[in-house]
Amino acid sequence: MVLKGRYDLQISTSSDAARQAYVEAVDAILSATGNVESALDKSINADPNFGLVYSAKARILQLKGKMPMQNNLPRRQLSQQPMQQKENDNTHRFSSHLQLGRGQLG
């Protein structure tokens, strides 16, 4: 059986509890009432593989300015060495256009 959300669109969970909590969260988002994060957490707890709910939670956290700390996120290792400029690099042209725009070049 394929479950559907509030607007009759298929959703990627087979858990009725996850579906119900997700619908509750969407209703709270659209009406700007209720505890959206709590409803999203209920949905995640009911079905940890329900991808759409993670997207909704990330967007709500972003809108509220509650993004997780960088320390909790995977880090990409960056080289400590400066980048080498390539022979065909147009960086010098871009730089001179910026300086010209500021009136620093003749």
DSSP code per residue over 11-48:
-S---HHHHHHHHHHHHHHHHT-S-HHHHHHHHHHH-T
- Mean pLDDT (whole number) for 31-49: 92
Question: Average pLDDT for residues 73-102, to the nearest whole number?
Answer: 52
Helix (H, G, I), strand (E, B) or coil at 4: strand
Would residue 4 count as lying in a domain?
no
- Number of folded domains in the chain? 1
- Asked if residue 103 is part of any domain, the answer here is no
Whether residue 24 is contained in a domain is answered as yes
Is 35 domain-assigned? yes
> Shortest CA distance to 15 belongs to which of 37, 48, 40?
48
Structural domain including 38 reads 16-69
Q: Is residue 100 part of a domain?
A: no
In a domain, 34, yes or no: yes
Place of tokens 């505890």: 35
The pTM score is: 0.59
The reply to whether 94 falls in a domain is: no
Residue 89 has pLDDT above 60, yes or no: no
| pLDDT value, residue 77 | 45
Residue 54 within any structural domain of the chain: yes
